[in-house]
Every structure is written in C-alpha cells, then in structure tokens.
Structure 1
C-alpha cells in the first residue's frame, strides 16, 4: 500500500530523518570518542597511580635492603676481630638497627665455618647468630647448621651469592599459631675478594603493608594488592587470599600463569578480565617492584571495575544525549515552522488550481512574496487570466462568431493555442463566404429553373389549346413549340450549373472537415497538456472541451450541408433527365407540326393520326413540366435550408 505524503510531511520526514540520522551517528561517534578517551585517561591514571605507589613501596623495601647490604659490607673485614669481639660488635650494630627499624622482627647472620674456624676443613657447615624482638627486649641465639651438607634454600642462596628476597611466609617467634605473622627475608651476601663468606639477613614483617594496601582505592570498588615473585599474595583487602597463589584465586588459569610470568620479568602490564569475586569485567594494572640487586621482582597491582572507570564518561554521554535531544526538539520546531511557511502558500496555490480545474477563473491568488513561490503565484494568476480569455474566445467561436473583430482580438494575444484558433477562424470564414456565394448562386439558379418550368407549363397549355384549333393556328403552334424548346434548353443549362454549384459546395464541406480534424487535434493537444498538469491542469481541460464543442458544431454543420447538397444534386439531376425528355418530346412535336402543315387542312378533318399523336405529346409535356416545377420548388427550399445553416456563422 502506497502512502500519499504531503509536502510538509515529506519535508519533516526527509529533513528530520536526515538530521536524526546525522545526530544519531554524531552522538554515537562522540559517545564512543568520549568513552574511549575516558577509558584511556582512566587507565593511564590507574597505571600512573599504581606505578607511583609501587615506587613508594619499592623505596621502603630498598631502604631495608640497603641496611642489610651495609651490614654485610661491614662484615667483610670479619677477620680483623676475634670471635668474641665480633659478637660484641654485631650485638651493638643490631641493637641500633632494631631501634631505627621497627619493621625488623629479626636480624641474623650466617658464617661459613671454614672461614671463621681454621680447624673446620669442610666446604659446608655454618655458624648462625639470631637476634629477634621479644616485646621491648632483643633476644639472641647462636647455632650451628648444615654440618652434614648444604640443602634447602640456603644451598640456593650460597650458590647464587647475591642479594635475594625470599617468598613470604608465616612465622611465630613464640611457636604459637595465633602469633604467626607474614614475613619475608632480605638477604645480602658477605663477600671477601668476591668469595662467599656468609650472609646477613633481616626478617621483615609484611603486616604493615596490609594497612597501606587497603588505603589504595582511587575508584569505588577498586582495590590494590601486593604479589611476590612467585605469585603469592602478600597484601590484599580480602585477608583470605593472603599467602595464596594467584593460580588458586584466578578463574582463568592462563591469565594467572601469564600474570606470574610478567611479574618475574619485572614488566609493567595490564589487562581486562572478569573479576574473580565481583564477576564483572575489571581493569588490572601491575607495576614492578625491584628490590635491591635481587632478581626476585615483586609487583603491586590494582583492580578497577570497567563500569566504574566509565562512570564519568557515561555521565558525560548522558549529558550529550540530553543536549542532543533538546537540540533535536528545537530543530524539529524550526523545521516545522519552515515547512509550514513553505507549504501554506503551496496549499493556497493547489486550492486555486482546483477551482480553475472546475472552470472557476473568477478569483486570483493573493500571495505577496518575493521568492519562487511568489513568482509561481504570479504565473498562475497570469495563466488564469489567459484561460479566461481563451475560454471566452472559444465560446464565441463555438457560437459561430467568425468575424474579423474576433481575429483582431486574437491577434493581440500570443501562444500556440491562440495561433491555432486564429488560423482555424480565418479558414472557416473564407470557406463559409465561398459556400454562401455558391448557395446564393444555387438559389438564383433554382428560381430561374422554376420560372422556366412555369413557362414550359404555359407553353404546354397554350400548345394544348392551339391543338384544338389546329386548323386556325398551326403556324402559331409551331412557334410555340420552338419557343418551348428554347426554354427547355435554357432550363438544361441552369440545371447543369446547379449541379456544378452543389458539387462545389460539397468540395468546400470537405475543407471544413479538414478544419474539424485540425480543431479536434488542437483539442487533443489541450487535453494532453491537462493530463500532464494533473489536478492543476483541469483548466486546460475546460478550454479543450470548448474547442471540442466548436469542432463538433463545425462537423454537424458540414454534415447538414453535405446531406442537403446531396439531395439537391439528386433533384437537379432528376430535373435534368426530365428536361432532356421534354426536349425530345418537344422536338417530336415540332416535327409533327411540320407534317400536319404539309398534309393540309383536310388531313385534320379526316382524323389525321399526326394530330392525335400531337395531342398525346402535348399532354405528356404538360405533366413533365409540372414535375420540373415541383423539383425546382424543392430545390429552392433546400437552398434556403443551406443558407440558414451557413448563416449560423457570423463572418462580418
């Protein structure tokens, strides 16, 4: 089903449709741009935020490692002191370290026996001094270890002979489970001429990092965490995860393994993954923490839900959408007023055109504008005026007015239709004038024929009268017969002229038929123009009807003239045959008269058969003369009818 849309609806549909499309694409593009920009800005901020806090933690760890390294470097000259003196110096150093570093829970050192005991010749075995806090006191304990060979973590530490950070672990100095705290150990080797002598280590409590980590919340529902070299959770808001591997926490094990791999490489990295507890997409960012010269890099990470990252962006997008809707409503209002301003005059034009299509040309359009619509109104007003003039001319022509005044009136107009009407009027006037002349000649001929027939009748009557008295006036009968022959011959000539005039009239009617076809063609052209113009071309249709009416009237007159002319020709031809017969009879009469005169007066008395024959011929001629008179009268009547038909057209 096809919908018929008005111009205003089309303007609103196409303009607003295009605007809405552009608005939608623009808002979508801007929203996407805002979202991407906000996301990038937020992730850059998060990366910078976690990197900054990782550097702070790195500074703390490195400070502790520097302390241990300094102690190890101080012990390089161990052989300067005796065993007792060295123990005294160690206690003094450790006491000062404990006082300045409350996070240190224990300080210890380990010496290879082969370097501090000349009697020990084996490459393993060590002497260990342990110092730890017990409230406000510092306690210590000495012991020998690995006397049967190096093993466990110490074997690795001794083999690497480098600074190291041990994986976190729970430890209780009281041996009670409830007193366990999460700790790690920073170790620095004691080297003498690049030779491994022993190590100095510190056991650091990681409990205070828990409080610091919990404070790192740059966004709502975000949190930070600390992970060791092997992926062990060191600090986390959820304490259930502490000292657990990320492999045990992450839902996606491949992401967990990739995370540990990147931590071990000391990389900055990030990714988006479903949160293992929130079950929503979250942005994870990691920053490395390199402690001293240890290869065991730790990492600080942060998790932020993506919807939180885009919260501000979504607010901005909502503002953009609201502003866009307000702007669209304003634009709709403006477009509506513009469409109304454009279509209202067009509606007036359409209504005026509908009136014109019904033949009402009495009113004009009242539209005062300087744009194309104003020009259209002016053109339609001029067209209406032209239609009125053409309609008036067509009505006058259809009423038979073909006068020169009509032609002069049309000469002041222009246009193909006017020119065609001019040509048609000029041709019709010329043809009608010629036909009028021919009809007048026909009337004159008919009257003359009628007179001749009367004279023939009179001659026949006289001949009949003279026949009764043939003996007295035979010579006079001869003169009368000869006079009758003369009249009949004159009648024949008139009848021939009548036939020729009637044939000429018929030829003229053929020209009128040609004019009818041309007029009909003009009417068809006007009808085609009306069809092309649709509703607004019905004015053309009215003019076409008037021209068609003129064509039909011309055709009707032509048919009438043709029929009357054909009847007149038939009558004239019949009269011609009759007159020819009369001539023959009269000639026979003349011969008989000569015979009678030659035979003498006595022949008449004795019942001359020539006299009898003369009487018969005379009677026949009288009857024929009456028929000729009747035909001449009918011919005159038909000529008057033709004259009446032609007089319908006013040519003067």
Structure 2
C-alpha cells in the first residue's frame, strides 16, 4: 500500500508504539501488581517473624532463668550435707516473686544424690511452690521410693536429660472457668558428671501472649495465633480455640500444607486458603525455637487476601488510566511531528539512499538554512557524511599498516569509531604479543638447549668430583655469558672442622687453580648455605671481588649465589659473577642446573663417606675384639667379687635378724628422727609404727636442759662416733631402764647416712649416764 510519508509515520509508528506501549505498560503494571502483592506477603511474613522472635525472646528469658537456677544448684551435695536445703527453696520462692509469669515451681532431687547411705536407683524428693490467691505455698513430697514411674514425664527426663518446654494445657488456679489460662512447664535437668541428679520445673502462664499477639495486625482484619509443637493453639484472639488443635479450623489445610509437620521441623512457611465463608486468606508461619528444646512452636498470622491486594488493585487501576492518557498524548505529538518532518525527509531521502549504497562523498553534504529539527536532521546527515569519510580514510590507513594514523571518533557514542580504534589497539597489541612470544620462545629454546647440554655433562666425570665441578662451572659461566664463577662444596669429612671448599673456578675462558676454604656461616656463601635460598646481588660491595681480564680489573655489576640442594640438604653453592645484570630466565636456569647437579654431587660424597666409614668400621672392629677380651677378664673378676659380697650380705642379714629377735632396734636419720623401728620396741613403748616414725630421739624427755645434750650427742654421731647410754623411759607410769648403743652407718664414700640404735631392757642401775624419757 502506498501512503504519504505523514500517513506512514502515523500508521506505522502509532501501531508499533501502541503494541510496544501495551506490551511494556502491561508487563510493568502486572509486575508492579505482583510486586505489591509480594511486598504485602513479605510484610505479613515480617510481622510473623518479628512477633515470633519477640515471643521466642520472652520464652528464652524464662528458660534462661531456669537454666541459671540449675547452675546455682551444682553444689547440691555440699548444701544437703550441711542441711542448707532451705536456701534452695528460698531461691525458688524469689524467682516466683520476681517473675509473675511463673505460676508454680518444683525442685526434684534423686535420693541417691543427696543421701550418702541411699543406694537405690529410684526415689526422689520434690520441693513444690505454688501460688494461691497471690500467696506462695510450699509442699515437700517423697516419691517413687518403691520404683520409678516409667510412664511419667519425670522418668522421661531422667533417662533422656534435656531442656524441654512441655505441651501447654488449660489450668485455673481458682477452679473457675473464667480464670482458665494456658500453662506450659519448663524443665531443666540437674546433672553432675553427665549423670542425672535432679530436675527444676516452672509452670509458665502463657496468657500474656494473648495480649501481645493482639497487636499483630499487618493489615485490617489480620489476626495472629501461637501454636505449640503438637499443633495446639496457645494464644489466639478467640479463647474458645485455646488448647484445641489447629485442625479445628481446617483439617484439610493440615493435610495439604503439612502444617503440623512443618511446625515440628521448625520451618517458616506460608500458604493461601479459603475459610468457611469462602474468603481467601494468606496464612504465614514462623518458628519459635525455645532454648535447646527439640520441640519448636510456631507463630501464625492470618490475613484476608483481598485486603492485602487492595492497594495493588488501586495502583493497577490508576496505571491503566495513566496509560490511556499517555497514548492519547503520544498520538497527538506524533501527528504534529510527522507533519513537520515529512517534507524534509523527502529531501534527505536521496542522500541516504546514496549512503546506503556505500557512496561516500563530501559533495553530498546538505546546505543548512534553518535552526529547527529539520536543520538538526540535515546537520546529522552532514555529520554522518563527515564521520563515514573519516572512518573510510582511517580504515584505508590501517589497511596499509599505518597504525599511528590520527583518528578521533565523532562522539563518545560513536560505536563504529570506537570499533575502529579497538581494532587498531588490537593490532598494536598483537604486534607486542608477537614480539613477546618470539622473545619467550628464544628464552625457552635457550633454556631447553642448555638443559640438554648439561644433562650430558652430568654423565661425565662422575668419579672425579673436582673435574666434574670444573666442567659444570666452566660451561655454566660461558652459557649464561658471565665473567667468572666458582663451585663451592661443604666439606664435612671432619665433624669438628666443617668448611666450605672451592672445588673449581673459571674466569674469562680460563681454568683458575685456586684453593679457598671458608668457615661455615661466613660471607655471602655461608649466608646462602644457611638460608638455602638464592641470593642475587646487583649492588655489589667494592671489596667483595674483582673481575680481572687483559683490559684490567673491574667490580662485577651482579653476583648470583645458588644453593645446591639435595633432599632438603644443602651440599654447596654455585657463585656466578658478571659485568652485566642477569635476566630472570638466566637465574632460573642456574637454579635448575643446581638442582640437577645436586644428585651427582650427593652420590659422589656418599661414596667417599662410605669408603671412610668402612675403614673406620674395620679399625673399630679390631678395637672391639681387644675390648671384648678385656671385658671377659673383668667379668670373671666381678663374678668372684659378687660371690664374696653375696656371702657377706647373707651373714649380715642373718646377724641383723638375730639382733631384731633378741633386742630393741630402731633406725634414725642424721637429724635424729626415727625412720624405722622393730616390733619389739613398739610393744615396749605401746605405740604403733605410724606414731613413732618421724619422732626425734629423746622427744619424750621432760628435762628442758637436755636440749644442749641432744645437740652434742648427735654432733658426735654425725662425726662417726659410737654412743652408749642408759635411759629411763616411763610408759603409762611404769619405769623401764634401757642400755642403748647408737652406731653410725656409712655409705660407700665413708659418710654417715643413718644411725642404728640397739637397746636392751635392764634393771635399774645405781649410777651412770642416765637419761630419763617419759
């Protein structure tokens, strides 16, 4: 169909615009509508989470109070041993007074834990505190003394100790129905050494949560409810549902959405449902984790869905009105624009056709006589011609290899110009990468060739370490274009004098016969050995070394020291000096060469060490034969001496046994304290051995002036003197007279180390050296 340009603009642009407008606006409106619904759901979920966390915090505070109380009962055995169990009851009472949410409290202890003479595995004492008309009453029960109540909750906690929040139940402290409230019991076990010894229980009034969830209204008509682990309503706006299962509202929902299962697993979830009045509602659940209990509760929020989406529907309605008005305005604007550009477009049509054919010429530029939109079009066409002409010239220059030709894009949005610049940049980068690749290939070929050459050197001169070292260092210096080098090897042939020896050196195509020994740890060579790391110096000290040639002497510009390491053991050092700075690839090549020669050097050193050890082993073997003969003779002499010692020991033992039988015997240390006493002496003094050990000699004397005599007496014994005295001992009012001999016993160095006391009971003497003990 042939239409005028204005008609085409109106038909094509409006039809296309209408399609795009409807598609885009419909898509955005739909997304906005769905977003509003999702935001409403998220708001409801956030309310559920907020109130669930608040309730969880309250219950966890209650659980924490009980847990703290349990910790204070950890020293129960001391409390009960001292009869202070009233302190525990007072602690329970203080908790009930300061925490009105606690209705009752109970403290249970296993009788076996608090009574030392009780050995049965059952039986408990229970202290109960309960509120009646605001007054706290006490009761003490002794339960299960004939055996455990296997079906009771207490027994369940006993065999499986854990923190627990029981299933809630309805309870009225007054017995009146209007005072019914939901109650749940907190149970915290008391353990010692991981053994169950008791249980603390609190009955918590959950009525406070009814008022709390009354504020759970993310939208008008919303209401919240608290559900226990088994699905019972704990708090809800209608009290008739308290203590009833959630299936009361909809058994089908519980099956379809696995409500009970998700609550027991502690999951947050939501779903859409229709109530009995066929009103669609959004229901959101969030878990309430109570302490360490494995039975979480859940907080639910139910919201009419039509209320949730009311604002989203309003936004959608206003969006449609705005879209219609916008399209009307768009139609009018397009009509005005099409009428103003139809004629100028015809003028530019021929130019654009020429450009479309690829014909680019500055003669095609249009003359601009106005300052309106048509002038802008004409100016744009002229700019396009200029830009295409510049792009053409730039492409031709790049084609002939002139990558430095100056070119500037028309604007920051000139994609063609940017593409041409990127192409030039890529070509320049390709040149650089090609040069790098060639350089890397050259280095790789150099390193590969060198590795092959040195691998061949490794198989030569393996029986001569000095010649092998020269071959390696001379070829290495030449291959890395250095000036001189040396190969140092650790000489540990003498354990007491370990040095680093220069085995081979090379400089300016000549072998250098130098003898050099460096103590371990000295100089850069010693540092390289200690650190077991490559050292590369570019700031070489003036006094380090000089490179001498036919032209004179000069300090090296760089020095490289590479450790020769085999099995993590440093065997020596390669030192290379150059009047040039060495490249990284040359350094790495020297390092790899050092790794290769380490094995060969290690094998040569091991062979040399093995020969030395064999020679030492031969000498030691001969010495061992001589020592063995000498030892055999010594053993025969020792056997003869041992037999004599055993004979004397037997005689001494027999004599001591005889003395112990007929006399009173005691042993003292050199401080005068008893360290041993025989039975005869113990019967005489009517004491046990434990009572006598550690007592001072004469400790029972009644005479104060004998302290000086005691000191003099023992000073003589410490000098090795034998003392004899007559002593009177009073035992239970009876006088007993003893004649005593105190004999020092010497160690192998002739030093007294104990005193042997041999006493005999006698009749009362007339006079003499008499000492009285009581």
Name the one with the larger strand percent. Answer: 2
TM-score, reference length from structure 2: 0.41
Name the one with the larger helix percent. Answer: 1
TM-score, reference length from structure 1: 0.48
Which structure has the larger Rg?
A: 1
